[in-house]
Amino acid sequence: MAIGGLEREQFPQAFEPGGLASMQNLLKTMETTHMANDIAAALRETSRLFEEKKLLYNDRQIMIFSDFQRNAWNQQVCAQMDRFMESFPENQRPRLLLFSPNRPLQHNVSCVDLRLSQVIALVDVPLRLYARLHNWGDTVEASRAVFLYVDGELRAQTRVDLNPGEEKQILFPLRFDTAGSHVVSILLDNDDLSADNRRSLSVPVMQQLPVLLLTPKQITPPWIGASLLRYGLAPYRYAHREQRDFIRLRERTPPQLSEEDLDWSRVIVLYGVKRLDDSIWHKIAQRVARGCGLLIFANEDMDVAWWDRISRGGSGIPAWRWFDYEKTGPQGIKVREGPFMHEALDIFNDPHNGTFVQCRIFRRYRLALGAGVKTVMAFEDNTPMVVEAGYGQGRVMGIPFDLERNVTNLPLLPVYLPWLHQLIAYLGSTVYPPRNRQVGETLVALLPLQDVGKEVRLLCPDGREEHLQVKKGDGFGVVTFNRTTIAGVYILEKIDGEKIHYAVNFPATESSLDFIHGDELRKLAARWHGEPFHSVEEYRVMERNRRYGQEVWTFFLWLAVLGLFGELVLIQYYHHQQNGGSRP
């Protein structure tokens, strides 16, 4: 017997002498948890235990306890069951029992998606929170209450009507007053499936986004492209306005670059860089791998051979090749208009946020894309204009041209500023390790190297505290926790007192009320020569019939009573006939 929620080494205890008592004790220690559905792993473990314990064939019995949700018991899972049962000779096949609760659910509304209007959250910057609700039931849900909580405090509430199977999106205005780790939660009224009535989102909030601009020389006014990039990144700062830019810009040249600069940055922008010293490039690659964004602008004078060498030589950045720097003609090449499928450019599907109709590029590189590289934007001839690839826990984007006035008119267009900010915000939104996880996934935190060997405290949703040791990683300390069997918010308290919130939610598909039941479940059980049951009493009857056969004594008792009664009737009849058919 293998039960979700028990450690692997506990499984064999049920097969020892007195195994039933051992299993009962184990079940008493179990908590109400929610495990990922891994039928294949359970079958492999069951098969291993059968062989290890050398059970007699007629003692082998498999009981599967499930709600038999249709999306969990899909064709792939059923095919795994087919192969497992067919692995036994027909006369050695274990008995299979499928338990399904005989309690149909009819009402369930859940929040299936929760996201912010911006990919990055800043202090005092207005945001919108989008919550997508789905009615999984077959009845109308009228005036369902929806509550918004921020850091455990009720901020807003509304009501929504949902028809059967309908999905609606609602929005709440949102603003954060302080930087740090925050949690936003949507809570719904209780229904038949209350476990999914809350969905949370962990939101890291910053004062400003730290961006490092690396150029081969100091930026001076004659250098038009670099000046336009600088102004685009921090427009208020260079316009001497009082407003605060959402980007906190730090400019460096390669000789000025320090470890502190790299650790400080969330996004690194390379502009006008022909080549770099290998040691500097190695440090940049390490920083990206730890969860930083990198944006590379190509330029006419770049050392293409050097870029090819460092890419193929093991760093893996960039994951594409620059080649064939070309002029695109006096009219330039246009940008392919939307719809844009990338989340960084989604806002441009609304023309009110800017269009690229007037954008022209007069000089560019062509790109040879490697594995894992995707095109974010394209030119009208379908060649890449912006590309992206993952590297470690970071993201890398490449643009095959620069911003000089003989190369493109993009910096002169209204769309330039929001376009640049969207790319930078997307790269800066890389939060590694991820703080929004699903039940069963591992939580990971990266800490300073000096914390290795120390303990940090993790507070679980049920109030339980876990003390985790910081282990040594590649240049940093690592903390992991994989027992995320309960949905909710997990809070990690670092050595310096800073808190990191992890939001652990159910997969949206777990809210479905589409179950396999009735005749369909009986057919599924028959497919594997098994039997379904729905209660302990029903199982006892099945087990008694299997062991001792069906009870037929009541049938024979009634048959004997009827026989005796019939005999009395016949005696009365013959006695009446012997007396001439008349009463004495």
List the CATH number of the domain containing 477.
Answer: 2.60.40
Instruction: Clarify whether residues 260 and 398 are in a common domain.
Output: yes
Q: How far is CA 127 from the centre of its chain?
A: 23
**What pLDDT score was predicted for residue 28?**
59
Contacts of 460 (CB under 8 A, 6+ apart): 466, 486, 488, 490
Token match 């209204």: residue?
A: 414
Write out the two tokens for 329. 């003609």
* CATH number, position 402: 3.40.50.880
What is the total residue count of the chain? 584
Residue 6 has pLDDT above 50, yes or no: no
Instruction: Clarify whether residues 243 and 274 are in a common domain.
Output: yes
For residue 44, tell me if it sits in a domain: yes
Q: Of 504, 531, 564, at which residue does a domain stop?
A: 504
Segment 205-214 shows an average pLDDT of 94
| pTM for the predicted model, two decimal places | 0.76
For residue 339, tell me if it sits in a domain: yes
**What total number of domains does the chain contain?**
5
Best CA proximity match to 361, nearest among 297, 300, 303, 408: 408
Measured distance CA(458)–CA(501) in Å, rounded: 10
**Per DSSP, which regions of 57-138 are E strands?**
61-65, 95-99, 109-116, 121-122, 127-135
Q: Of 164, 186, 206, at which residue does a domain stop?
A: 206
pLDDT digits (tens, 9 = 90+) for 69-112: 888 888 888 888 888 888 888 777 788 888 887 666 788 899 99
**SS3 assignment, position 574:** helix
Instruction: Clarify whether residues 200 and 240 are in a common domain.
Output: no
Residue 18 has pLDDT above 90, yes or no: no
Q: Let me know: does 187 contact 132? Beta carbons within 8 Å.
A: no
The strand pairing partners of 69, in sequence order, are 515
Give me the domain span that covers residue 45: 36-103+515-548
Q: Let me know: does 92 contact 47? Beta carbons within 8 Å.
A: no
Cα of first residue to Cα of last residue in the chain, in angstroms, is 75
Measured distance CA(244)–CA(240) in Å, rounded: 10
**SS3 assignment, position 389:** strand
Q: Let me know: does 452 contact 469? Beta carbons within 8 Å.
A: no
Residue 188 has pLDDT above 60, yes or no: yes
Q: Please state, in angstroms and as integers, the Cα–Cα distance from residue 576 to each residue in 562, 563, 568, 581, following that order.
A: 21, 20, 12, 5
For residue 22, tell me if it sits in a domain: no
Instruction: Clarify whether residues 181 and 300 are in a common domain.
Output: no
Sign of CA dihedral 256, 260, 264, 267: positive
What percent of the chain clears pLDDT 90, i.e. is strictly above it? 50
CA dihedral 115, 118, 120, 121 (to 10 degrees): -80
Rounded to 10 deg, the angle between the 75-86 and 39-53 helix axes is 10
State the pLDDT confidence band at 191, using cuts at 50, 70 and 90: confident
| Lowest-pLDDT range of 138-142, 173-177, 356-360 | 138-142
For residue 419, tell me if it sits in a domain: yes
For residue 24, tell me if it sits in a domain: no
Contacts of 477 (CB under 8 A, 6+ apart): 446, 447, 448, 449, 450, 451, 452, 470, 471
What percent of the chain clears pLDDT 70, i.e. is strictly above it? 88
CA dihedral 98, 104, 107, 109 (to 10 degrees): 0
The more confident residue out of 407 and 32 is 407
Instruction: Clarify whether residues 488 and 536 are in a common domain.
Output: no
| Lowest-pLDDT range of 130-139, 358-367, 505-514 | 505-514
* CATH number, position 57: 3.40.50
**SS3 assignment, position 548:** helix
For residue 484, tell me if it sits in a domain: yes
Residue 284 has pLDDT above 70, yes or no: yes
- DSSP designation for 82: H
Q: Please state, in angstroms and as integers, the Cα–Cα distance from residue 559 to each residue in 141, 268, 290, following that order.
A: 56, 91, 82
Segment 12-36 shows an average pLDDT of 53
Q: Please state, in angstroms and as integers, the Cα–Cα distance from residue 209 to each residue in 249, 264, 336, following that order.
A: 8, 10, 29
**What pLDDT score was predicted for residue 5?**
40
Measured distance CA(298)–CA(364) in Å, rounded: 8
State the pLDDT confidence band at 58, using cuts at 50, 70 and 90: low
**SS3 assignment, position 451:** helix
Token match 């740090």: residue?
A: 180
State the pLDDT confidence band at 7, using cuts at 50, 70 and 90: very low
